[in-house]
Structure 1
Amino acid sequence: MKHTKILLLISMLLTVILLAACSSSTTNQSEPASILVTDESPEAIFEPQQMIDASGEQLEFQSKVEKVACVVSLCVDIVAELGMEPAAIGESGVRTIATAEEFYGEHGTTFPSIGGSFFEPNLEDIITVKPDLVIGLLGVHDSLREGLAGAVPVYLAQPKTYTDSVKLLEDIGKLTGRTEEAKAAAEKFLRKLDEAKQKAPKDKKALIMYGSDVNFSIVTDSGLGGSVLKEVSNYPFKVNDPSEDPYGEGSIQYSLEKLLEENPDVIFVESYSYSPGTKALSEQMQELPLWSKLKAVQEQNVIEVRSPIWGDGRGTRSLGILLDEALEALYPDLF
């Protein structure tokens, strides 16, 4: 009986030891799988990209674009939407949009500067910051490609409608490895526009006009701002003769006589001043007798807008701001 108890105890001890050994073996086998870390996730891999810009130039990128130099406000809009900061920015309007509260605010004053003029940015300033890409405007910054050849690739852009702006954002998102940020920003803008289209009665006639003096031009429904406003308002301004808009930019010179025929309910004015002391365009127009006959003038619905955003921003963030401000002016009881 005594031996039986001893054998029983020995058997129980062996069982406990075997169970502990099995448990230890299982734990050791699972540990490597749980602590294995790899950089082979889709987000960590950059696929070489080929892009064709607005000039028809094919650009190739073997590595992710980390630093973008901006010589046009559109570029600032794009990098802001992607959650990045520009490596350097041009002055004047480009700096103005960067410091707008919807973009970088006061922090926008700290970005390195690209001297020279808007039409001729300083090449040395661009090269100094060692960007991976420069984004410029087609028809304005074409010569940068030759000046920066072998140093920095130049992407020339010229979105003509809001769908072009969305596509451009997505393309730069691919180059910077920020496809998710691009998708989120594009969806935010398109969702806002779709909701506005459903809600806006479109019973107000709107117009965007711009200029530095009384020889003004207007944005047609095939222009960037017009492509947005025609979705939420009565926007009858079109390019009827291709010779009026030879570059297909969706803008044409106009006259007060023709403007009086359409007689819009709300006029949005983009003033561009090239010399100190120049009056806003709407103030200059007040000096013309026909101006006072316009319905928008009589009902005090002539609105000076922020030209760097409405006219120069061109990206989805700027267009979203344009949409918000236009809806508030057109339908104050609904938006």
Structure 2
Amino acid sequence: MRSLRNWVIITLIAIFTVACNPASPPQSVAPTTPAQSSTAEVKPVGASKVVALTSLSADIIYRLDKNKLVGIPGSRLLRENAEISKITQVSEGQTPPNLEKIIALKPDLVIGATGFHDQILEKLKGLGIKTMTSSITSWQSLEELTKAIATEIQADPTALIQSYQSLISTKATNPKSTLVLVSSQPILAPNKNSWAGDLLTQFQINNAAAELQGQSPMRGYITLSAEKVLEANPQVLILVDVGDGTINKLKETPFWNKLDAVTSDRVYTFDYFGLVNPGSIDAIAKACTKLQEIVKVNA
């Protein structure tokens, strides 16, 4: 049962990683009308009513132009903002978005996650509603998504992009070997092809699993044996709290007290949102602040 529960947790991590995860080009929708096919120059009209199916895209839209956001997903990250929480909620948790609720909002753009909202986006496209997908696996893809959304709603992304860049102003000059663990059974660590792995790269932190490849249910993550963890023997250890007791289970493993990071008291705990799943701009900012602290303390 414990093994089954852990795999359920891993699956949820994979889903959330995709769901808040390079932005693909906006995918469009309504059939071309005679007016649209005219050779006369037509000034593009930005989307004025947007439904976001991920917490991150909702947050980005709200920061760019809060008046354009008419529908949001159910998320504790969004509920932390009293104003955003007043916006119509079209989904909750792992429950598929409510198609009727979305249609009732009469949106001219719906933004979902690649691989997670494909079905409902196809239905919306069939109804002539423009859609767009996102998949955030790197810092660059976060900036690209922000610019793509800004283009769609005709907003200026400059200030928001600059605020992102300010979050990674402090970088490691003497990087210590660092390992991030997000699960205990199996032991999973992000390589460079994940949001977490790329975030470490942005801070020039030496990710011990950056170049490792292997079989894993999560793209950008690799499965490690206890022997591999001991072999890596990181100087800094980052544990991700996914709410399933993973951290306590890792501390009970035979290899735990043999790790340099443990004996030198360089073990840090991060929230799942921000480091594994971007989640929201505030969640990303909190993760970046903690990474900056690690960089400074271990300089």
Structural mapping, 1:43-82, within 5 Å: 54=24, 58-59=27-28, 63-82=45-64
**Partner residue, 1:187:** 162
The question of whether the paired residues in 1 share the 8 Å contact of 2:195 and 2:278 is answered with no
Structural mapping, 1:98-117, within 5 Å: 98-100=78-80, 104=81, 106-115=82-91, 117=93
Give the C-alpha shift of residue 230 in structure 1: 2.0
Residues 1:322 and 1:158: Cα distance change in structure 2 (over 3 Å): same
**Partner residue, 1:87:** 70
Task: State the SS of the aligned residue for 1:69.
Answer: strand
The question of whether the paired residues in 2 share the 8 Å contact of 1:59 and 1:153 is answered with yes
Find the aligned partners of 1:172 and 1:321 in 2 and give their Cα distance.
Answer: 23
Query: Aligned partner of 2:71: which letter?
Result: A
Q: Deviations over 1:246-267 (max 9, x none)?
A: 98x4222223321222222333
For normalisation by structure 1, the TM-score amounts to 0.67
Give the root-mean-square deviation of aligned CA atoms: 3.0
Query: Aligned partner of 2:28: which letter?
Result: L
**Partner residue, 2:139:** 162
Give the C-alpha shift of residue 183 in structure 1: 1.5
The question of whether the paired residues in 1 share the 8 Å contact of 2:27 and 2:131 is answered with no
Residues 1:144 and 1:60: Cα distance change in structure 2 (over 3 Å): closer
Find the aligned partners of 1:268 and 1:53 in 2 and give their Cα distance.
Answer: 27
Give the C-alpha shift of residue 315 in structure 1: 6.4
Q: Deviations over 1:214-272 (max 9, x none)?
A: 3232111222122121232222323444x63698x422222332122222233333333
Give the C-alpha shift of residue 162 in structure 1: 0.7
Q: 1:220 aligns with which of 191, 194, 201?
A: 191
Residues 1:292 and 1:153: Cα distance change in structure 2 (over 3 Å): farther
The question of whether the paired residues in 1 share the 8 Å contact of 2:23 and 2:136 is answered with no
Q: Deviations over 1:270-323 (max 9, x none)?
A: 3334xxxx42x2112222222232233334433332212322226665444322
Q: 2:170 aligns with which of 196, 202, 210?
A: 196
Consecutive unaligned residues in structure 2, runs of 5 or more: 1-21, 31-43
Find the aligned partners of 2:242 and 2:128 in 1 and give their Cα distance.
Answer: 33
Residues 1:87 and 1:300: Cα distance change in structure 2 (over 3 Å): farther
Residues 1:313 and 1:254: Cα distance change in structure 2 (over 3 Å): same
1:270 is aligned to 2:240: yes
For normalisation by structure 2, the TM-score amounts to 0.75
The question of whether the paired residues in 1 share the 8 Å contact of 2:29 and 2:128 is answered with no
Consecutive unaligned residues in structure 1, runs of 5 or more: 1-51
Identical columns (%):
22
Residues 1:256 and 1:151: Cα distance change in structure 2 (over 3 Å): farther
Find the aligned partners of 1:267 and 1:76 in 2 and give their Cα distance.
Answer: 32
Task: State the SS of the aligned residue for 1:217.
Answer: strand
Residues 1:109 and 1:246: Cα distance change in structure 2 (over 3 Å): closer
> Structure 1: which 4+ aligned runs deviate by more than 4 Å?
314-318
**Partner residue, 2:294:** 329
Task: State the SS of the aligned residue for 2:136.
Answer: coil
Find the aligned partners of 1:203 and 1:175 in 2 and give their Cα distance.
Answer: 40
Q: Which moved more, 1:313-322 or 1:122-131?
A: 313-322
1:229 is aligned to 2:200: yes
